[in-house]
Amino acid sequence: MRYQIPDQPQERLDQINEWFTQILCTDSYFEDDKWLAIRLNLSKWKEQGFHYRQEFNSTSNCLADEEQALLFKIYNYLGEIMLMEAKMKEAAYKQKFDLAILYQDLKALAKQELKKLNEERFFSISFFRIENNSIVLMHIENYFINQDVKEKLRK
């Protein structure tokens, strides 16, 4: 990813939406340093007098059907990866190493499917929008992903 942030608000908004979609659709989601570009883009908005906030409910989400379908697939695969990671650690803790290897393989399969989803997508999802004097991140339906994103954007 390039970390060159444009000065034009619409270009910057398009860029943050593309980067955010790309991060969610790859295993970059799990690498903290990949979130740097998003944090830099948000800091550029703050320099220009905008405030950042995230919606707490999904009432104002107005995504097209194909965007909504892609979004739910992304949530599903990220949730599977997180679940397999937790199950893998639990199995290793209980010294059930065959089961831990199975969960590791299932996690790898979910990451492959997520990568394939990214290669097949031909649009980015508008996670961010400008509202009044704020840059607003839409509500993320999956609680665990929502909390994880909040944490990654705070760093």
Question: pLDDT tens digits for 86-113?
Answer: 999 999 999 999 999 999 999 999 999 9
Q: Is residue 1 part of a domain?
A: no
Domain membership of residue 2 (yes or no) is: no
Three state DSSP letters for 98-155: HHHHHHHHHHHHHHHHHHHHHHHCCCCCCCEEEECCEEEECCCCCHHHHHHHHHHHHC
- What is the pLDDT at residue 60? 56
Instruction: Using the predicted structure, report yes or no on whether residue 142 has a pLDDT greater than 60.
Output: yes
| Domain-embedded: residue 3 | no
Residue 129 domain-assigned (yes or no): yes
> How many domains does one find in the chain?
1
Determine the structural domain holding residue 101 and report its residue range.
9-154
DSSP string, 20-70: HHHHHTSGGGG-GGGGHHHHHHHHHHHHTT-EEEE-SSSTT----HHHHHH
pLDDT tens for each residue of 42-87: 999 999 999 999 888 775 567 788 888 888 999 999 999 999 999 9
* Choice between 56 and 38, residue whose per-residue pLDDT is larger: 38
Domain assignment present for 4: no
Classify burial at 93, counting beta carbons within 10 Å of its beta carbon; exposed 0-12, middle 13-18, buried 19 or more: exposed
| Structural domain contains residue 145 | yes
Residue 24 lies in a domain: yes
Token digits of residue 111 = 């990451």
pLDDT exceeds cutoff 90 at 17: yes
Spatial contact of 15 and 6, defined as CB atoms under 8 Å apart: yes
Asked if the structure places residue 117 within a domain, the reply is: yes
CB-count exposure of residue 114 (10 Å: 0-12, 13-18, 19+):
buried
Task: Indicate yes or no: pTM above 0.75.
Answer: yes
